[in-house]
Amino acid sequence: MMYRRSQEEEQHPQSGLTEDQIKQQWRKLGFFCELDDQKRLWTLTGSRAGLLYFPDLLLGYVNDPKHAADGEQEHYGPYGSLDVMTYPAPGFDGRAIRGSLDDLTRLAELVGEKLATAQAGESISIREEYAADSPYTLVLDVRPDGFDPASSDRERLGTATERKVSPPKQS
C-alpha cells in the first residue's frame, strides 16, 4: 500500500502529473519509495546506483538552512510520499523518516556504508543501527543495474516498461 496523506495534507500540485511525468520523477529520484503501514516498512527500491541518491538527498536536506528547526520537513517523489523531517529523536514512523540534522547525516552515512557492498537481490533492513525504538524499519531493496524505479509504481501506473540499458561499448 502506498502511503497517502489525508486530504488536508495531500500535495495537490503533484496530482496533475501525467503518467510520463510520474515515471520521470521516479527516475530522477533514483528509486521508488513505498510505505507499508501494515508491515511497518519504508521500502526504497532501486539499483545500487539509484539507491545511492538517498544519502545524497538526506545530505542535501541537512545542508539546507531552512531545515534546521524541529518540525521542518520536505516531501520527495512524484506523490510527495517520501517525507524527511527534522525531529529531536531519530526514527521511522508512519509519517516520516526523521531525526536531528546530525541523526540524518548519520543515516546517510549508514545507508552509504550498507550500499557499498550490496548486491542485486539483497534486502537491507535499517532500524537497530539508527533508531532501535522506531516503530518502522527502513528497507533498501537492491535491484540489478539499469533497474527502472518507475516499474515499481504498480498502484498508479500498472505495469511500467523496463528502462532500456545500452550494451557496453566495445573498445
> How many Å apart are CA 28 and CA 93, to the nearest integer?
25
- In DSSP terms, which residues pair with 91 in a beta bridge? 98
User: What's the grid cell of residue 6?
Assistant: 489525508
Residue type, 94: G
CATH numeric code, 19-157: 3.30.1360
Q: CA-CA distances (angstroms) from residue 92 to 84, 126, 136?
A: 10, 10, 5
> How many Å apart are CA 115 and CA 109, to the nearest integer?
10
Query: What was the pLDDT predicted at 32?
Result: 95
Query: What was the pLDDT predicted at 18?
Result: 86
**What angle, rounded to 10 degrees, do the helices at 53-62 and 101-116 form?**
160
User: What's the grid cell of residue 108?
Assistant: 546517510
Phi first, then psi, for residue 85 (nearest 5°) are: -135, 140
pLDDT in tens, 81-122: 899 999 999 999 999 999 999 999 999 999 999 999 999 999
**Residue boundaries of the structural domains of the chain:** 19-157
Comparing CA positions, the residue from 161, 152, 170, 166 lying closest to residue 79 is 152
User: What's the grid cell of residue 80?
Assistant: 510527495
Residue with cell 517525507: 83
Query: What was the pLDDT predicted at 16?
Result: 75
pLDDT in tens, the chain (171 residues): 333 333 333 333 355 778 889 999 999 999 999 999 999 999 999 999 999 999 999 999 999 999 999 999 999 999 898 999 999 999 999 999 999 999 999 999 999 999 999 999 999 999 999 999 999 999 999 999 999 999 988 765 544 333 334 444 444
User: What's the grid cell of residue 2?
Assistant: 502506498
